[in-house]
Amino acid sequence: MKKILLGFALFFGVIQTQAQENNLQLKGTVLDTVVPYVYLQKFHNKMFTTIDSAKVKDGNFSFKTKVKTPELYGLSVNTENSPFYIFLEKEPITVKLSPLKYYSTSVVEGSASQTLFDTYRKTKDLEISKFITEHPKSIVSAYVLYRNWSYRLTPEQITQNIALLDKSQQNNTYVKELKELVTVLNGLSVGKKAPDFTANDPEGKPVRFSENLKGYTLVDFWASWCGPCRKENPNIVAAYKEFHDKGFNIVAISLDKKKENWVKGIQDDNLNWTQVSDLAFWNSAVAKLYGVRAIPANYLVDSKGIIVAKNLHGEELQATLKSLLEK
């Protein structure tokens, strides 16, 4: 009975402190395939960077890397693909790593944070404030707010949810970035001036945003790898064809990583307007300047660079342009 109660305490409490550097006690087995190495990857800004590798011998591997815990990391057998998401802690952790079906059948033992994270992912329509209130001391709450909810909430709502976190979580890496995001978003409300920027077009020519303001300009964030963006592009193309001669223009910023993919996406989707990118993926300087945490995203600005609307998609974009340009 005591063991059962302890299990519930670990699961529902998941008491965490500020992340500290510890030597990992991480070992595991690779299932269903033979690979030479398993890679340990650090998570930051929706991206993973390889920080260590472990040789796989007879299907087994282990890491003793010194890393900050508790935090989210990735385990991968191929650094070109998305890794297995794993919350590491200072306690010993064992992993059964199955690369098949995007690591969906992989199993982690020894990480209370991972148990809570897996439960969150299996729960549909779980409202973030309720989740944080139930688990205020868990870094999982801070991560979920940062990763899954920041782009859905207003700056005020983000701040309110941060306040629900225990003081032990107020200075972790995810909360720090959320607070920075709030500052950025507060400067990007309707009526504020859109930040100026310069970025290169596909030919490598610098394009300054403020020199391309004519009528109403859509600052459009997209990428060739983004399915929802590609689905939305025909709507933008239709709006451009209908309203361009009446004063509608577009400056598009791609979050692509490879130039050839970016250029092909432009050609395939007939995006015949100003296109720029620093090919830095989620590290895009312009995306950070505009507080973009998910794509597609956009800002509509007038000829003076003043924001008049945000995140207009589908029929809403058409209706807004009609009201502005067909008076």
Ordered DSSP codes for 253-287: EE--S-HHHHHHHHHHTT--SEEE----GGG-HHH
143 sits in which H/E element:
helix 139-144
Question: What pLDDT score was predicted for residue 18?
Answer: 59
Structure tokens at 306: 């003043």
For 40, the 3-state DSSP assignment is strand
Per-residue pLDDT 10s for the chain (327 aa) are: 433 333 433 344 444 445 788 899 999 999 999 999 999 999 999 999 999 999 999 999 999 999 999 999 999 999 999 999 999 999 999 999 999 989 999 999 999 999 999 999 988 778 999 999 999 999 999 999 999 999 999 999 999 999 999 999 999 999 999 999 999 999 999 999 999 999 999 999 999 999 999 899 999 999 999 999 999 999 999 999 999 999 999 999 999 999 999 999 999 999 999 999 999 999 999 999 999 999 999 999 999 999 999 999 999 999 999 999 987
For residue 325, give the H/E element and its range: helix 315-325
pLDDT computed for residue 295 by the predictor: 98
Task: Give the predicted TM-score (pTM) of the model.
Answer: 0.88
Judge whether 167 and 279 are in contact, CB under 8 Å: no
Contact present, 313 and 296 (Cβ < 8 Å): yes
The three-state DSSP-derived secondary structure of 88-151 is ECCCCEEEEECCHHHHCCCEEECCHHHHHHHHHHHCCCCCHHHHHHHCCCCHHHHHHHHHHHCC
Please state, as a whole number, how many other Cβ atoms lie within 10 Å of the Cβ of residue 235: 17
The end-to-end CA distance of the chain, in Å, is: 73
Please name which of 131, 126, 145, 115 lies closest in space to residue 10, comparing C-alpha atoms: 115
Question: Which pLDDT score is estimated for 255?
Answer: 98
**E strands present in 70-166:** 71-76, 84-88, 93-97, 107-109
Q: Which value, to the nearest 10 degrees, does the dihedral of the CA atoms of residues 88, 92, 98, 99 take?
A: 40
Tell me, what's the pLDDT at 6? 37
Q: Specify whether the CB–CB gap between 43 and 74 falls below 8 A.
A: yes
Residue 291 CA to residue 299 CA, distance in Å, equals: 11
